[in-house]
Structure 1
Amino acid sequence: MRRVVVTGLGVVAPNGADVPSFTQSIRQGQSGIRVIPQLMDWNLGCWVAGWPQLEEGVLSAYFTENTLKALKSTNVIYGCVAATQAWLDAGLTIDPDTVDWDTGCVFGTTSCDTTVMREAVNTIDRMESRRLGTRFIEQTMFSGVCAYVGGLLGLGNQVSANASACATGTESILLAYDRIRHGYANRMVAGSAESASPHIWAASDAMRIITRRSNPTPETASRPMSATAAGFVPSSGAGALILEERDMAIARGARIYAEIKGGYTNSGGQRDGGTMTAPSPAGVRRCIERAMELSDIKAADVDLICGHLTSTFADKVEVRSWATVLDRWGADFPYINSLKSMIGHCLGAAGSIESVAAILQLHHGFVHPSINCEDPHPEIEALISPSRIPAQLIEQEINTVIKANFGFGDVNSCIVFTKP
């Protein structure tokens, strides 16, 4: 099997809409959570969310003026910006007249932009369907993001979308990894995007699975592994990686951020404690175990766990699963952090944005703080030393990182990144 490396990164996150600013933010533990006036106006319990801020005029570098006039879908916008960032970061060029038959794209999302859908429904209800224009369908289909990316970059290999709830991002990376590993492609754009959709956030608010306690102080709202965690913070954005066959990347002199050693996706079958909304501990443990086996790493090799860790009751269950599989407890446990403490839960985009953060820590040699965990949950503190949850930036060489995500439907995805 061929070896696969990461040569480019792109990100649109609530605390940084490009890799340099995102890197600075996660090093400093800077939150991107803020009050969203629309949520206040709707009288929801939670007023805070993560909404990336793109600088005015930045989109003109990616889209023509005519396209921009009709483009309203935020997941398409975020995905295209992140993917193009990653492409250029990898030292690749965009040729408007050439098809790259050896490069493809797997770019996932959990839902289309509901704001665009709502506007369309209202337009139809007013009997003005002709006003929908010619760009509506391509912005609402699940493959819309990857289709736009494929056209921007001229990709001629597989161009498709995946959707596996919160596991979508890491799963997209593994799907692209397998395509290169088996020789079906030499290079792939992998990632995921989530639209800024207050309507989806309102549905989560109705389920009472998002926090309602920190409206006055948004930056403290997302509290993974904390005793005072009260639900996740909804968020949006996109992350993208350029994956390449290792020897080809070396031959062209590409900068290599990390090597993908392997990974695994599975489901807990919604049995033994697993439900539509809660992961089965047995399924989670099996996913981690198989990812490590397929990556040929041992428990002692793991320096850092970039967990799913959403600020819900599942955090303590997740930490127990990690400790059980690794058989490392107390102060022997690896460092563990959660990017969601700074940006909230980006749903379908979570795995790709968090993978970008994991790779940056590996490449630059640091562990970013997991903020708002000054009061670790007692059941977590009984398993691991609080010192393994970094409250401040740690400058330290990292050789092996495990990144995992667990989603609605009891689906799991786990991936292992190492230094090249």
Structure 2
Amino acid sequence: MELKRVVVTGLGALTPIGNTLEEYWEGLKSGKSGSAPITYYDTEKFKTKFACELKNFDPQNFFDRKEARKLDRFTQYALVSSDEAIADSGLDLNALDKFRVGVIWGAGIGGLETFQNEVMDFAKGDGTPRFNPFFIPKMIADIAPGNISIKHGFMGPNYTTVSACASSANAMIDALNYIRLGYCDVIVTGGSEAAVTMAGMGGFNAMHALSTRNDSPETASRPFDATRDGFVLGEGAGALILEEYEHAKARGAKIYAEMVGGGMSSDAYHMTAPHPDGIGVVRVMENCLRDAGMKPEEIDAINTHGTSTPLGDVAELKAISQVFGEHAPDININSTKSMTGHLLGAAGAIEAIASILAMKHSLVPPTINHSTVDDNIDPKLNLTLNKAQPRDVKVAMSNTFGFGGHNACVIFKKIS
């Protein structure tokens, strides 16, 4: 069976450094930090008092008050970003066979704020189980794609992938394969997360996973730097319209890139820590290259998982050196988490979008906040430090890994 080609025809972004695709790119290329003191709640008793929140996001610009109250923030973000991607794609929704249009979405946690608030309200009461009737529909992770499909009448495959921080990358790979195999013409894919909450921050602090650089939050996310002390939690969403190539060509669609490969693997090592030798990361990149039918020397840029954790950054770069060998120093390697923070289940989507935009604009966004060399990192690697670098990116790879040892990798190729 000959697999169908899959292209990206629409993009949408709602991020800590920009609330639209255009603003996101401006933030990326200029090296903007999205990290700042938390405004959502009183942080006095918390170890970490900052995060990468969305700036100037008002749900009433997109939903009426009654509708907004029925939606957790992660679902609001999903709807806003997917609407932008659909508009960007130029799809005529009335002309589509909606049984062949799906929504496959990633969320690592889902409605954490809804769960937190409902349980806290219950604890204040007399023990009688009084809960909001929208508690469960707001909280469950699959409700985001459900709402997207209901809004637009998309009746193809509809579900959420949950693999912690790899969730939206897994969603994109599933979407790629559904179209490749001929089951769908179009799939809205991506991911959203809204875990900047007391429960989210408190939980990650208890694991000693977050940076505690409270005196300089804007520089706290510093992948590959010797003084890195943990990741910075982010929130938002990224959406991509994946479309069968002939379907897109027939309607004269704008094509950003072709999605040519997706790979998955498992560390099978530890609940939260990566394998120190990056064995699972080596395998996921090899699987992705094999799926794309590409050689290591064809890769121009890699947007790493690069969370700014002491162990994870070193393990990933060791794996890149192993997979790409002599070609590794010729690759522009970066971590856009230095700017956006870590969006958990939405990370794969917004970082894939960053890779696609790097191809479009022939410019690789920087890894910001780097000041101190880590002797455990190969100095020959080009980590695109502190300033964007011009590059004709023909092929880009993006890595995403999650607690539980989940690894996902995707590759995009420029169509000339």
TM-score, normalised to structure 1, is 0.92
Q: Does residue 261 of structure 2 align to residue 302 of structure 1?
A: no
Q: Per the alignment, in what secondary structure is the counterpart of residue 81 of structure 2?
A: helix
Moved over 6 A (4+): 128-131
Q: Aligned partner of 2:363: which letter?
A: F
Contact 1:123–1:129 (Cα < 8 Å) also in 2: no
Q: How far does residue 7 in structure 1 lie from its aligned partner after superposition? A: 0.4
Task: Give the match for residue 31 of structure 2.
Answer: 29
Query: Distance between the aligned counterparts of 1:127 and 1:92, measured in 2?
Result: 52
Task: State the secondary structure of the residue aligned to 2:326.
Answer: coil
1:146 aligns with 2:145: yes
Comparing 104-113 and 399-408, the one that deviates more:
104-113
Matched length: 408
Q: 1:413 aligns with which of 404, 408, 411?
A: 408
Structure 2 residue aligned with 1:250? 249
Tell me how far 1:99 sits from its aligned partner.
Answer: 7.4
Superposed counterparts of 1:233-382, under 5 Å: 233-270=232-269, 275-280=270-275, 281-312=278-309, 313-328=311-326, 332-382=329-379
Conserved 8 A contact 2:274-2:315: no
SS at match of 1:327: helix
Tell me the SS of whatever aligns to 2:98: coil
Q: Map of 1:98-137 to 2, 5 A cutoff?
A: 100-125=98-123, 126=125, 132-137=131-136
Which residue is 2:210 aligned to? 210
Map of 1:154-173 to 2, 5 A cutoff? 154-173=153-172
Q: Distance in 2 between matches of 1:365 and 1:416?
A: 16
Q: Map Cα deviations across residues 3-50 of structure 1 (whole Å, 9 max, x no partner).
A: 000000011111111101001000100011111156663422211101
Alpha-carbon spacing, 1:128–1:139, altered in 2? closer, same or farther (3 Å): farther
Give the superposed CA RMSD.
2.1
Maintained 8 Å contact 2:397/2:411 = yes
Superposed CA offset, 1:147-185 (max 9, x none):
111112211101100100111111110011100000111
* Corresponding residue SS for 1:41: coil
Do structure 1's residue 391 and structure 2's residue 390 form an aligned pair? no
Deviation at 1:127, TM superposition (A): 5.7
Deviations 1:257-304 (A, max 9, x none): 01011111121222xxxx111233211111111110111111211110
Partner SS state of residue 375, structure 1: coil
Cα distance in 2, alignment partners of residues 112 and 294 from structure 1: 30
Counterpart secondary structure, 1:151: helix
Q: In structure 1, what residue type is equivalent to 2:262?
A: G
What fraction of aligned residue pairs are identical, expressed as a percent?
31
What's the CA shift for 1:225? 0.5
Maintained 8 Å contact 1:368/1:390: no
- Preserved CA contact (<8 Å) 2:367 2:383: no
Q: Matched residues in 1 for 2:386 and 2:84: separation?
A: 30
Query: Cα deviations across residues 125-161 of structure 1 (Å, max 9, x unaligned)?
Result: 4269797444322111111111111112211101100
Q: State the match for 1:226 in structure 2.
A: 225
The answer as to whether partners of 1:87 and 1:93 remain within 8 angstroms in 2 is no
Q: Does residue 11 of structure 2 align to residue 9 of structure 1? A: yes
Give distance in 2, aligned partners of 1:224 and 1:25: 17
User: Do the aligned residues in 1 keep the contact of 2:226 with 2:373 (CA within 8 Å)?
Assistant: yes
In structure 2, the partner of 1:92 is 91
Using the size of structure 2 for normalisation, the TM-score is 0.93
Quote the Cα distance in structure 2 between the aligned partners of 1:305 and 1:257: 17
In structure 1, how many angstroms separate the alpha carbons of the residues matched to 2:152 and 2:386? 40
Residues 18 and 84 of structure 1: CA distance in aligned 2, closer, same or farther (over 3 Å): same
The 1:327–1:413 alpha-carbon spacing in structure 2 relative to 1, beyond 3 Å, is same
SS of match in other structure, 1:328: helix
